[in-house]
């Protein structure tokens, strides 16, 4: 049996293969177009998760030997970085663009950069009046840890030594997992399928401009239906909004 025919489906969720098979069937394509259609399904899913649904994920990551955290492959942007204490409260780290992201190399392996040691809460600067180097507290408060995002190497640099410990990361994800267990809400299916079919027609010279435009309009209808669902009020949200501005007053007596 062809492995490409194996997919996950339930009344509420599906996967990339399920959407791909639907597009193959609705477009009348054979299995030779499978990978091309799957490419457009993935492209459409990334667009929805990044710009419209804002798909979030929380994970725990270990700090490596150079005091960095390697970001997940599906990482887009961070929402929170920190640790959870025993009382269940989440303590966020403070972003600091002054942290050096340079690393030394020894025998081709990255190591901690050699720097002069300063107290964790302090750094050096220039006194504007005396023109001398001084120490000053750059936090304005009591923070346990500082971080900086290194986009070139897709990782987070920490200031204070935390090697071997775990850090919690809440982030925006593309929704695509390379291990093959990508789960998609079933309500995305129509939009993803119509998007893939429109992209296929765009790349086929035999299709007329009218056929391409009809396919595009079909995608617009399905995508509009999806975004209205994603952005719509739930019953609880609606009631909360009503009660927030509602005040009970004294009832008149006879």
Question: What's the Cα-to-Cα distance from 43 to each of 62, 125, 180, 202, 237, rounded to whole Å?
Answer: 30, 47, 16, 15, 31
Give the model's confidence band at 51: pLDDT under 50 very low, under 70 low, under 90 confident, else very high: confident
Give the model's confidence band at 156: pLDDT under 50 very low, under 70 low, under 90 confident, else very high: very high
Answer whether 142's CB lies under 8 Å from 93's CB: no
Say if residue 183's pLDDT is above 60. Answer: yes
- The SS3 assignment for 124 reads strand
Question: Locate tokens 């798909």: which residue?
Answer: 55
Say if residue 186's pLDDT is above 90. Answer: yes
Estimate to the nearest angstrom the gap between the alpha carbon of 123 and the chain centroid. 33
Secondary structure of 182-226 in HEC code, one letter for each residue:
CCEEHHHHHHHHHHHHHHHHHCCCCCCHHHHHHHHHHHHHHHHHH
Give the model's confidence band at 23: pLDDT under 50 very low, under 70 low, under 90 confident, else very high: very high
Question: Locate tokens 């302090």: which residue?
Answer: 122
- Structure confidence at residue 158 (pLDDT): 92
Question: What's the Cα-to-Cα distance from 132 to each of 118, 119, 126, 128, rounded to whole Å?
Answer: 17, 19, 6, 8
Answer whether 168's CB lies under 8 Å from 189's CB: no
Alpha-carbon Rg for the chain, nearest whole angstrom, is: 26
Rounded Cα distance between 16 and 4, Å, is: 11
Rounded Cα distance between 41 and 206, Å, is: 22
Rounded Cα distance between 153 and 79, Å, is: 19
Say if residue 234's pLDDT is above 80. Answer: no
Choice among 150-154, 213-217, 219-223 with the minimum mean pLDDT: 150-154
Rounded Cα distance between 85 and 92, Å, is: 11
- Structure confidence at residue 232 (pLDDT): 75
What size, in residues, is the chain? 254
* pLDDT mean across residues, the chain: 80
- Structure confidence at residue 240 (pLDDT): 74
Say if residue 138's pLDDT is above 60. Answer: no
- The SS3 assignment for 24 reads helix
Share of the chain above pLDDT 70, in %: 71
- pTM recorded for the entire structure: 0.66
- Structure confidence at residue 140 (pLDDT): 36
Say if residue 237's pLDDT is above 70. Answer: no
């Amino acid at each position: 049996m062809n492995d490409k025919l194996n997919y996950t489906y339930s009344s509420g969720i599906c996967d990339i293969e399920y959407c791909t098979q639907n597009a193959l069937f609705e477009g009348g394509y054979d299995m030779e177009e499978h990978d091309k259609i799957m490419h457009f399904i993935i492209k459409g899913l990334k667009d929805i998760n990044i710009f419209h649904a804002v798909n979030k994920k929380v994970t725990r990551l270990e700090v490596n030997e150079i005091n960095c955290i390697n970001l997940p492959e599906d990482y887009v942007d961070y929402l929170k970085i920190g640790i959870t204490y025993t009382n269940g409260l989440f303590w966020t780290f403070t972003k600091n663009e002054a942290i050096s992201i340079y690393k030394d190399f020894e025998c081709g392996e990255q190591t901690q950069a050699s720097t002069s040691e300063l107290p964790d809460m302090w750094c050096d600067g220039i006194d504007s009046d005396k023109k001398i180097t001084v120490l000053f507290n750059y936090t304005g408060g009591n923070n346990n840890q500082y971080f900086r995002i290194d986009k070139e190497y897709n990782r987070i640099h920490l200031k204070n030594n935390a090697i071997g410990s775990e850090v919690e990361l809440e982030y925006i994800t593309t929704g695509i997992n390379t291990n093959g267990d990508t789960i998609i809400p079933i309500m995305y299916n129509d939009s993803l399928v119509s998007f893939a079919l429109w992209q296929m027609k765009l790349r086929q010279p035999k299709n007329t401009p009218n056929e391409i435009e009809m396919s595009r309009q079909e995608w617009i209808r399905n995508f509009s239906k999806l975004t209205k669902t994603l952005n719509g009020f739930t019953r609880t949200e609606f009631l909360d909004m009503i009660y927030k501005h509602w005040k009970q007053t004294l009832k008149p007596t006879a």
